[in-house]
Chains A and B, each alone.
Chain A
Amino acid sequence: MNTASIISIKNMTKRFPVGKGEFTALENINLEFGEGEFAGLVGPSGSGKTTLLNIIGSLDSPTEGTATVMGKNIAQLSHKESALLRNLHIGFIFQSYNLLPVYTVFENVEFALLLQNHTASERRKAVMDALEWVGLTDKVKSKPAMLSGGEGQRVAIARAMVKRPKILLADEPSANLDAKNSHQILKTMKQLNKELKTTFIFSTHDEKVMQYLDRTISLADGKVVKDELTVAANAG
C-alpha cells in the first residue's frame, strides 16, 4: 500500500429509508486508500459496492461516521463543493461507457475539460494525450456508434483520465466486454495507474478484473469481510 492516504473512511454506516423502516446498505466501514492504489471492491450484488463507490465519489453521503476524500469530509460538503471535488479530483468509468452519441470521440473526451478553465489549445493537447494513452488517436472523428465495445470503453477511460484525476472510480468496467477487450482495458488502466499515480478503485465481481488488483476488499451484506493485499497476476 502507498503511503499518503487520500481516502479515509471511519466507522461509516449508510442507511436508506425503505417504507416505514430502514435498510442498512453499509455498516461500520473503516478503510483507507493511499495514492496510486489499484484496489477493488468485490462481492455479490447488494453487498454495498456501488453505495460505497457513490460515497467516495461524493454522489451520496454517509448516515453515520465520516468519509474524507482529498481532505474533504463528504457529509459536510454542499452540492457545489461536491461538484468541485468531482470536477477536480475524481474520474468515473461506467459499465455501459455512457458516451454521448451525438459527439465525436474527441468531443466526448473534451467534454470532461469544459468545466475547467482550459484554453482550446490546452484542451486539444490534453485530449490527444489521453487518446494516445488508450491507443485511439486514429478515431478522433468517429462517433460512438462506429466503435467496438472495447474501443468505447477505452474512450470512456480517456474521458475519465483526461483531467488527470487523483482518484478514478470504475463501476463494473468490464461487464459488457469480452475477455480479450477486458484484458486490454485493464492493462491500459494498470499502466495509467503506474505512470500517473492515479488511485483506481473498482467495483466488480469479475474474476478477470480481480487478477489485476493490488488490493481486494470483499464486501458482504454491507460489511467489509476481508481486506487483503494481492499480488496481481497480470501486473504491468
Chain B
Amino acid sequence: MIQFLLKGILRDRSRSLLPIIVVASGVFLTVLLSTFMKGLFNDIIDMNAHFTTGHVKVMTRAYADNIAQMPNDLALIDVANLKEELVADYPDMEWVDRIRFGGLIDVPDENGETKTQGPAVGQAVDLLSPNTQEPQRMNMEKALRQGRLPKQPGEAMLSEDFAQKLKVELGEEVTLFGSTMEGGMAFKNFKIVGTVSFGATVLDRGAIIVDIADAQEALAMEDAAAEILGFFEGDTYDDEKAKEIVADFNAKYANDPDEYAPVMQSLKEQNDLGSLLDMSENMRIILVSVFVFAMSIVLWNTGLLGGLRRYTEFGLRLALGEEKKHIFKTMIYEAILIGFIGSVVGTILGLSVAYYLQEYGIDFSGMMKNISMMLPQVYRAQITPDALYIGFIPGLFAMVLGTALSGIGIYKRETAQLFKELEV
C-alpha cells in the first residue's frame, strides 16, 4: 500500500508539489534565519568576550562597581601571584591581564611641536610574550589595514580611522598623555607600526593598542592590571562551567571586607550579555514556533483542498473495504514522506545560503557609524550541527499537523456521506 501511495504522490504533482514547496520554503527560512541569528548573536558575544568581558573576568570589587569609568586607580595589584593562583585552581582556562585606559595622543611635527592630537581609548594586551594568544583572540592579523603588529616594546597600533584623522604615517612617533594609577601625569612615546580596523565602531573610534608591559610602565602599574580575563579551552563559552568557577572563586573572598579584594564575574553577568544570550535562545524558539504555526495553517488548508480533491479516492477506498482509521494513517504516512522531502530540500537550500552568509556576511557598517555599543559591522551566519535538523522540526511537524487537522474532517465524515460524494 505504501509503495502504491508513493506512486500516487510522485505522479500527482498537485498532491505533492505544493506541500513540498510550502514545507521547503518554511524549512529554508527557518534554517537560514536560525543560522543567521546564531551567527549574529555569537559574533556579538564573541566580540564582547574577546575584547572586554572574557568568558570570566577578575577585577577588584571597587573597579567592578565603577567599570564604565575604566578606573585604573582601583586596579588589581600583585597580579602575578593572583594569576598563579588562578592557573593552579582552574588549569583548563587561559588567564590574561588587560588594561584599558583613556588618554590623549599627540603627534609632533619635525620641530617637535604638536601637529595633531586627539583623545584615545587604549587597549593594553599581551602582544609580546612568546606564547601569547591575544593577537589571534582579537583577530588582529585580519584587522590589520597597514603595517604590522608590534614586535618590540615601544611599538603601537592605531585604528585606521584614528590614524587618518591624526595624519599619522607608519614609523612616526606619537606621545600618549594619560594619568598613572596613583593619579600622576603619565606620558610615553610610541612608534606607530600598524593600523587596524576591527569592524566595530566602538573599538575603532580613537583606538591605540599597545603591549601590556608598555602600558604598565607608562601608567605606573607594575604587577598591576585592571582586569584578568579567563577564556575556556576551545574558546567556547560554557555558562554552567562559568557559573561554577565564579561561585568557587568568589566563595574564597566572601568574608574579605577589602574593597580591593578580587571578584569574578561571568560573561553573562557583564554588559547585559546574559539577556542577549537568553534572547538569542528565545528568538530561535519563537522563530521555529512561528514557522510551525504559519506552515501548519497553510498546510492545513492545502491538506483540506487536497483532501477535497481526493474524496473520490477516499470514498473508493472505503468502498473497497479500507478502514477510515487506515486511510487517516496512510495520509499521515504521506505527510511524513512529503514533510521529509520538503525538509531535506529546504535544509539543503537554507544551508547553501547560510554557508554563503557565513563566508561573506552582510555589511551593515554604513548604518552603524554612530553606534556606541560593541557590535560587529559585518554579520555572518554560523552553521552549527543543529542547523542540520532544526528545519525538520517545523517541516515534519507542520506537515503532519496540517494533514492531521484536515484529515480529522475527513475522518469524522459519515461513511455513507463520503461514499455519496463519489457520485458528485
Contact = CB atoms under 8 A, between A and B. Distances in A.
B419 interface: yes
A16 to B, nearest CB: 10
A100 B312 CA distance: 8
A79 B324 contact: yes
Interface stretch (A34-42, A84-92, A193-201, A223-231): A84-92
A83 B318 contact: yes
A83 B423 CA distance: 20
Nearest to B321: A87
B258 interface: no
A24 to B, nearest CB: 16
Contacts, number: 72
Nearest to A156: B316
Given A86-B321, A98-B316, A59 B416 contact: yes
Given A94-B422, A96-B423, A86 B319 contact: yes
Contacts of A84: 321
B94 to A, nearest CB: 64
B145 to A, nearest CB: 63
For chain B, give the interface size range.
Answer: 20 to 34
Contact of B321 (A88, A96, A107, A110): A88
B239 to A, nearest CB: 54
> Chain B binding site: helix, strand, loop or mixed by DSSP?
helix
Interface residues of A, number: 30
A99 to B, nearest CB: 9
Contacts of B7: 102-103, 107
B316 A100 contact: yes
B423 A171 contact: yes
Given A54-B419, A59-B419, A94-B423, A112 B320 contact: yes
Contacts of A98: 312, 315-316, 422
Contact of B423 (A95, A102, A114, A115): A95
Nearest to B1: A114
Contact of A59 (B1, B323, B415): B415
Interface in A91-128: 92, 94-96, 98, 100, 102-103, 107, 110-112, 114-115
29 contacts: A50-B420, A54-B416, A57-B319, A59-B319, A59-B419, A60-B415, A79-B323, A79-B324, A80-B323, A82-B415, A83-B321, A86-B318, A86-B320, A86-B321, A87-B320, A87-B321, A87-B322, A90-B321, A94-B422, A95-B423, A98-B315, A98-B316, A100-B316, A102-B11, A103-B4, A107-B7, A111-B320, A114-B1, A115-B321
Given A59-B419, A98-B316, 15 more contacts: A50-B420, A54-B416, A60-B416, A79-B323, A80-B323, A82-B415, A86-B321, A96-B423, A98-B312, A100-B8, A102-B7, A103-B4, A103-B7, A111-B316, A115-B320
Interface of B: 1, 4, 7-8, 11-12, 312-313, 315-316, 318-325, 415-416, 419-420, 422-423
